[in-house]
Amino acid sequence: MSTEEKMTVDERRKYLRLMKKRYVKANRKERGRLLDEMEAVIGIHRKSLIRLMSGDLERQPRCRQRKETYGPEVDDALRVVDESLNYICAERLTPNLVWITTHLAAHGEIEAPPSLLEQFERISVSTVKRRLNRVRQDQPRLPRRKGPARTNKLTRDIPMWYACPGTRNNLATSRCIWFIILAPLLLASMHAHCKWLTSPPPGANGPLCWDEVTW
């Protein structure tokens, strides 16, 4: 992890659990050095580090849940923007929320007050992903259609995953692909050869016996 990036709460707790094992076994001088190191790494005040090292590092549940930051107007705008961009992923949608909302508002497709644009500037990818999952679950879905039956009787009973690379090992896949390609050619060649044996063309010496055929 880059030193310029900030640790998340879970990453800080994981780091403190590892440092606590050394902190408990260390003497007074060594503990001071460890506290200096932890303060430089995670940026927590020294007295808070001493309290954490002396207590339990398990996170306490919230006594009161946070208020909802984004209201229903964000969901309504996300629904329109998501449909206009053909339901792309949240990672690609989030950086483009402001300009596409402004563009849609200029054409009268959506209302974009400054408060909405301000919220779209600071909304995170994870928040957009959660809200898209909630918005998209109300979208009607078309029923899945079965594909047409294969006309080749030889390959009709062969599961399609045999012909899809990566679904099984490469050896089995390549063998099945070659079988599908070469089987019709081999059957056609055998049919033409047998027809020549039973009814040879004019000028031939006559039909051969099966004992004389060399394969």
Residue 131 lies in a domain: yes
Alpha helices in the chain (DSSP H): 9-25, 28-42, 46-54, 72-84, 90-93, 97-106, 114-122, 125-136, 153-156, 170-198
- Average predicted confidence (pLDDT) for the chain: 76
**pTM attached to this predicted model:** 0.40
In terms of domains, do 79 and 121 share one?
yes
Residue-level pLDDT at 194: 65
Instruction: Give yes or no: residues 47 and 78 share one domain.
Output: no
- Give per-residue pLDDT as tens, 44-67: 888 988 988 888 877 777 666 667
Rounded distance, CA 107 to CA 22, Å?
63
- Same domain as 129, residue 92: yes
The answer to whether position 147 is within a domain reads: no
Report the number of distinct structural domains present in the chain. 3
For residue 140, what is the DSSP state?
-
Residue 33: pLDDT band with limits 50, 70, 90: very high
Considering the domain architecture, whether residues 76 and 49 belong to the same structural domain is answered as: no
Instruction: Convert the pLDDT of each residue in 147-166 to its tens digit.
Output: 566 566 655 665 554 444 44
Q: Which domain holds residue 97?
A: 72-136
